[in-house]
Structure 1
């Protein structure tokens, strides 16, 4: 009976039950980027007549109705910027955000920073609030599986910049994960390390997936055996990363029962790497004599822990400055650079053996 009633409701509802078309739907139907549709609707950039024709035809066929109120509000700039971070306690995110805020403040902009705590629901609420405050631009640090939220912001006329992640429809400032993972595995291969493991937070964040993909590609390139027993990427380690890294490493030690341990463990962040070193030392392993550890970020603690941590440096000052310059150019001159890549650098310290 319930199934029949549901089917009847769908038949009666007809088009009313269909999801409202979005600007993303128009872009897909027209075969153009989301930003191109926005430019056609708002008249904010020169677009060829053929592209305009395709976009306008798609708008008519989909019966897409642009958010007119949002576009009217967008005519007057507020010089307000939103910054979304998944975890403000993460040193890399906080220092990057601080750099961005400093540069925009020097130019007379007001910045509003919000912490999502890795929650899509909280991110949606925060972005809606920022849109209500009529921000001119939005920088999203990290994140993933949030395209619908980004599209919603872009549809209202907000200039969206992605930082430390890649999504084809939006400009971004990213690190060259594949290149610096290649650099790291090449160095380890040359030093005759052959037993290499990898421990990461769960890969639902775009940047974490890209780091892991770079690791796997480099391992294959240098013909280093990939042992699934030494790879952990399915655990929720985003918050309290140092403690989480320690717990996961202790579990790995128990699983391997002291046999066939990796020579090197690469962690997806410095905080996880420091937790890994703590677990190894508590269980009687010497770092780096028994097991070496490598992190990613080069936070301040990496230099002062014992042993000091070998890591891949991501320069937050260069990164934050580029995010500022890219979004500012996008907002003020409508110059939309697609993707900008910043190299990382392997910094050798005392947590791996010198061979």
Structure 2
């Protein structure tokens, strides 16, 4: 690999002159600058990112830790993070925790060795755990996404799941449905709790009661929705509409309903949550609550940059508003 000394010899100048040209640290005549740049090109010279990072104490690199999941929601958010990093001239190192505390700790240690400027955590499977690793890096900027209680200080980016659950349920009520059920996410998780609270609040505001026989808990995966539907079906009488608290479970519900000869939306209306890209290609296309996934990713990157600029400012919670996306899985009751 070529060095500045090699370039200096090739261009017939001093090493300090090469340094001034490459780092633009002092005026060098156009003729000499051209010789140096041509020599660097001919020798395939690339400036050392490590040396530059040591000098500036910045690597222009962020780390992101995600929980492994078959849910494409994670991938769509990561895409927003990566794209915004690229637009701003930052690199992104992505690590998969698989929901394991030890693996998260090891990944953070690895990222610190890479001298990342900040971390984005999207690991709701570790919600509420004490992550003592951050006690060792108190000055490291950290942003958490789609997470509930945390035991360390950090900025948070999330969607307003309470409002989203309310909007979903209100849409079913506006379509004339009186018998409403809900397949929740795992209720130990903050976002699942908030979506279910939104469901109950909408019913309460409409002077309607929650029927406990029409409430089942899922796991935010297709299998969870599939199994929850069959538990509902085993009880006998189904509601006319279901709020399923994410799109993955809604897919499982539609699959189970089709197997059981129940037509969507003629016999059962369904509304999901997340608005995954694949939701509009389902048959029928899924009515759902749109989460601004690209904006979630962008907001996380911006929060890290703001923290780097103002490390002593108060920690913030940035909450983005969901909205209804109407498609074909909700019918009106006349």
Identify whether the pair has TM-score above 0.5, normalized to the shorter chain. Answer: yes
The DSSP-based 3-state class of the residue aligned with 1:296 is coil
1:200 to 180, 184, 191: 184
Match of 1:22 in 2: none
Distance 1:145 1:164, change over 3 A: closer
By how many angstroms is 1:146 displaced? 4.3
2:81 to 87, 97, 100: 100
Q: Does 1:186 align with 2:164?
A: no
The DSSP-based 3-state class of the residue aligned with 1:262 is coil
Match of 1:54 in 2: none
Does the 8 Å contact 1:131/1:153 carry over to 2? Answer: no
Q: Does 1:223 align with 2:207?
A: yes
Of 75-84 and 314-323, the range deviating more from structure 2: 75-84
Q: Which has the larger radius of gyration?
A: 2
Does the 8 Å contact 2:280/2:286 carry over to 1? Answer: yes
**CA deviation map 1:70-99 (0-9, x unaligned):** xxx9x9333321112113542221121121
Q: Does 1:164 align with 2:146?
A: yes
The DSSP-based 3-state class of the residue aligned with 2:165 is helix
TM-score, normalised via structure 2 length: 0.75
The DSSP-based 3-state class of the residue aligned with 1:308 is coil
2:302 to 325, 332, 339: 325
- Separation in 2 of the partners of 1:350 and 1:116? 36
Matched ranges for 1:258-273 at <5 A:
259-273=236-250
Any unmatched runs of 5+ in structure 1?
1-72
Distance 1:312 1:122, change over 3 A: same
The DSSP-based 3-state class of the residue aligned with 2:176 is coil
Does the 8 Å contact 2:177/2:332 carry over to 1? Answer: no
For the aligned residue pairs, the C-alpha RMSD in angstroms reads 2.3
2:113 to 128, 132, 137: 132
Match of 1:245 in 2: 225
By how many angstroms is 1:184 displaced? 2.2
Match of 1:116 in 2: 97
Match of 1:310 in 2: 287
Distance 1:263 1:142, change over 3 A: farther
The DSSP-based 3-state class of the residue aligned with 2:64 is strand
Distance 1:291 1:319, change over 3 A: same
Of 203-212 and 276-285, the range deviating more from structure 2: 203-212
Any unmatched runs of 5+ in structure 2?
1-53
